[in-house]
């Protein structure tokens, strides 16, 4: 059956998956956004729904000082004896584990693991817990190292052992261990997270090695894909479905302009076959946008997502930068209220910004709200954000000359105000219509007739333009001020289409 990649679109890198019966659970990296580590569920591998987030209590994690593309990296999800476990790295603080019996519910407080390296993974066998990272135990060498740990305390029980040095591709990371038949298999990533990215494999008769490299490494890479439809494929996780078929979930990127993408790294699914006792990914070891595999359900068409402001509880899709100020948001009885803050994106802190991941290249976002500025500099509306220096704001703003609808573009030290339209009091409806090359911004005062205000290139929100960027664009509601103000943004509609 044919299906389309990515299976989880938008900013969703470093996927890991586990199966429980006929249910599949997938997690991805979230970096500086809270709540952290989204959890997705599927029963057919190609239609996924976000059901929760692993990091739910801001008090348990030091998000307040996280840099762009810092925070939570490379989670692994595993299931053992009725409990789900997720482990990941919190940049500059170390590795941790959380657990739950209900992945769509509440997760435990973190247990910090006393093992170094990044991109940790768990492996369970005979009542013991093993922890695998890219910790180098020998200076100057790239290594994958294995430890036995205490699952309750995170303490290392015995001295770790280096079990594999990779293939020499550089940036050895993202290890996972599997026991399949008579072999222990090790899957890792090499080549860095951009165009040279790849998945490599090794195997051993013993958990502790020695591990021999697959003679056909890398088993997945798009380095030599001249079509350039998919790039950066790597960082994967192997699994067997309930029908006995093997697959890999992994990250890769789709391109919007030449070799650029603003969505960031997304989650792909690639079929796995076995040849001479080694995993073989896809056709020609490449990730593809259109694949064929032994699926049992059709991939559903695009969808509409709408926030329900009658509920006080946030839907799991919402994300916030770093440590959100809870008292700046109130929702219920059909509305979401945002109270502007004098914290702005370039501050690298926690602006009043409630967002969702941009769901696809072609998508739409719509909101309806009221906002009466009190002071010069009060503003509220929509924002599209890649990082603290690269973002677009489409907002109602008070200036010294009055209240205007403005589109302000920021790309590091470049700034442009693309429109300045006088607006009066009352409800304002804003839309963003996106395609691969542009964001189109429009507005309405009656909710029916819309007028185009301006457009902005996706180029200046591309990860490759911003530099060291591991995230992707997010879109959402934004309210800010130059000083504390009595103005309130009152939102009655927030809807995303793809």
Q: What is the pLDDT of residue 283?
A: 83
What SS3 class is residue 112? strand
Confidence of residue 244 (pLDDT cuts 50, 70, 90): very high
Q: Which of 263, 246, 241 is nearest to 8 (CA)?
A: 263
Residues 140-149: tens digit of each pLDDT = 999 999 999 9
Q: How confident is the model at residue 226 (pLDDT cuts 50, 70, 90)?
A: confident
Query: Confidence band (pLDDT; 50, 70, 90) for 225?
Result: confident
Q: What is the pLDDT of residue 496?
A: 97
Contacts of 140-143 with C-beta under 8 Å, sequence gap 24+, read 141/165, 142/166, 142/170, 142/171, 142/172, 143/172
Residues 147/188, Cβ–Cβ less than 8 Å:
no
Q: Where are the beta strands (DSSP E) in 44-159?
A: 49-55, 72-80, 83-90, 94-100, 111-113, 121-125, 128-133, 144-149
User: What 3-state class would DSSP assign to 343?
Assistant: coil
- List Cα–Cα distances, 86 to 57, 93, 100, 170, in angstroms: 15, 17, 9, 26
Q: Are 192 and 32 in contact (CB under 8 A)?
A: no
DSSP E strand boundaries for 323-427: 329-332, 335-338, 352-357, 363-371, 379-387, 390-399, 402-411, 414-422
* 446 among known catalytic residues: no
**From the candidates 14, 68, 142, 266, which is the catalytic residue?**
14
173 classed as catalytic: yes
Place 198 in a pLDDT band, splitting at 50, 70 and 90.
Answer: very high
Sequence-distant (≥ 6) Cβ neighbours of residue 449 within 8 angstroms: none
For the cut 90, the answer to whether the pLDDT of residue 85 exceeds it is yes
Q: Residue 438, exposed/middle/buried by CB under 10 A (0-12, 13-18, 19+)?
A: middle
pLDDT tens digits along 173-190: 999 999 999 999 999 999
Q: What does pTM read for this prediction?
A: 0.97
Q: Using the predicted structure, report yes or no on whether residue 18 has a pLDDT greater than 90.
A: yes
Output the pLDDT for position 302: 79
The total of other beta-carbon atoms located within 10 Å of residue 359's CB is 23
Exposure b/e, 174-188, CB count within 10 A at least 16 = b = bbbbbeeeebbbbbb
Model confidence pLDDT, tens digit, residues 368-425? 999 999 999 999 999 999 999 999 999 999 999 999 999 999 999 999 999 999 999 9
Percent of the chain topping pLDDT 70: 100
Q: How much is the average pLDDT of 285-290?
A: 96
Question: What is the pLDDT, as a whole number, of residue 237?
Answer: 98
Of the listed 119, 173, 379, 403, which one is catalytic? 173
Mean pLDDT, rounded, for 445-453 = 95
Q: Two tokens at 472?
A: 């992707």
| CB of 418 closer than 8 Å to CB of 454 | yes
- Confidence label for 354 from pLDDT (cuts 50, 70 and 90): very high
Tell the residue number behind the tokens 């409990």, with chain if given: 83
Count helices and strands (H / E) in the chain.
1, 39
Mean pLDDT of 51-80: 96
| Residue 249 CB coordination number (10 Å) | 24
Q: To the nearest whole number, what is the mean pLDDT of the chain?
A: 97
| Mean local confidence (pLDDT), 28-51 | 98
Tell me the pLDDT tens digit for each residue of 481-492: 999 999 999 999
Task: Answer yes or no: is pLDDT of 259 > 90.
Answer: no
């Amino acid at each position: 059956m044919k299906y389309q990649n990515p299976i989880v679109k938008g900013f969703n890198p470093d996927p890991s998956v586990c199966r429980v019966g006929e249910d599949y659970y997938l997690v991805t990296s979230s970096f500086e956004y809270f709540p952290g580590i989204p959890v997705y569920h599927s029963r057919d591998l190609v239609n996924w729904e976000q059901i929760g987030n692993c990091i739910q209590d801001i008090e348990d994690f030091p998000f307040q000082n996280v840099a762009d593309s810092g925070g939570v990296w490379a989670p692994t999800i595993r299931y053992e004896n009725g409990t789900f476990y997720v482990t990941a790295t919190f940049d500059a603080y170390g590795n941790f584990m959380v657990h739950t019996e209900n992945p769509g519910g509440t997760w435990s407080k973190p247990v910090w693991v006393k093992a170094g390296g990044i991109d940790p993974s768990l492996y369970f066998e005979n009542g013991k817990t093993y922890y695998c990272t890219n910790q180098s135990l020998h200076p100057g060498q790239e290594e994958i190292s294995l430890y036995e740990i205490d699952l309750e305390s995170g303490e290392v029980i015995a001295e770790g052992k280096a079990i594999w040095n990779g293939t020499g591709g550089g940036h050895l990371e993202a290890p996972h261990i599997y026991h399949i038949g008579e072999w222990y298999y090790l899957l890792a990533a090499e080549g860095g997270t951009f165009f040279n990215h790849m998945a490599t494999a090794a195997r051993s008769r013993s958990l502790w090695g020695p591990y021999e490299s697959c003679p056909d490494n890398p088993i997945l890479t798009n380095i030599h894909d001249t079509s350039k439809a998919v790039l950066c494929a790597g960082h994967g996780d192997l699994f067997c479905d309930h029908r006995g078929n093997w697959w890999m979930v992994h990250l890769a990127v789709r391109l919007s302009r030449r070799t650029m993408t603003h969505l960031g790294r997304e989650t792909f699914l690639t079929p796995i076959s076995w040849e001479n006792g080694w995993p073989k990914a896809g056709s020609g070891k490449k990730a593809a946008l259109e694949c064929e595999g032994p699926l049992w359900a059709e991939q559903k068409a695009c969808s509409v997502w709408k926030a329900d402001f009658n509920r006080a509880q946030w839907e799991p899709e919402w994300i916030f930068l770093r440590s959100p100020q809870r008292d700046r948001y109130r929702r219920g009885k059909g509305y979401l209220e945002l109270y502007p803050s004098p914290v702005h994106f370039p501050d690298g802190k926690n602006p009043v910004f409630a967002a969702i991941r941009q769901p696809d290249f072609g998508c739409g976002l719509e909101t309806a709200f009221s906002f009466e500025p009190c002071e010069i500099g009060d503003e509220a509306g929509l924002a599209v954000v890649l990082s603290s220096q690269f973002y677009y704001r489409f907002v109602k703003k008070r200036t010294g000359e009055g209240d205007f609808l403005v589109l302000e573009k920021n790309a590091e030290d470049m700034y442009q105000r693309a429109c300045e339209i006088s607006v009066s009091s009352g409800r304002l409806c804003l839309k963003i219509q996106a395609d691969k090359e542009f964001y189109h911004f429009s507005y309405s005062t009656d909710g029916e007739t819309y007028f185009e205000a301006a457009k902005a290139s996706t180029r200046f929100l591309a990860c490759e333009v911003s530099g060291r960027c591991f995230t992707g664009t997010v879109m959402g509601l934004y309210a800010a001020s130059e000083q504390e103000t009595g103005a309130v943004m009152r939102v009655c509609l927030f809807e995303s289409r793809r």
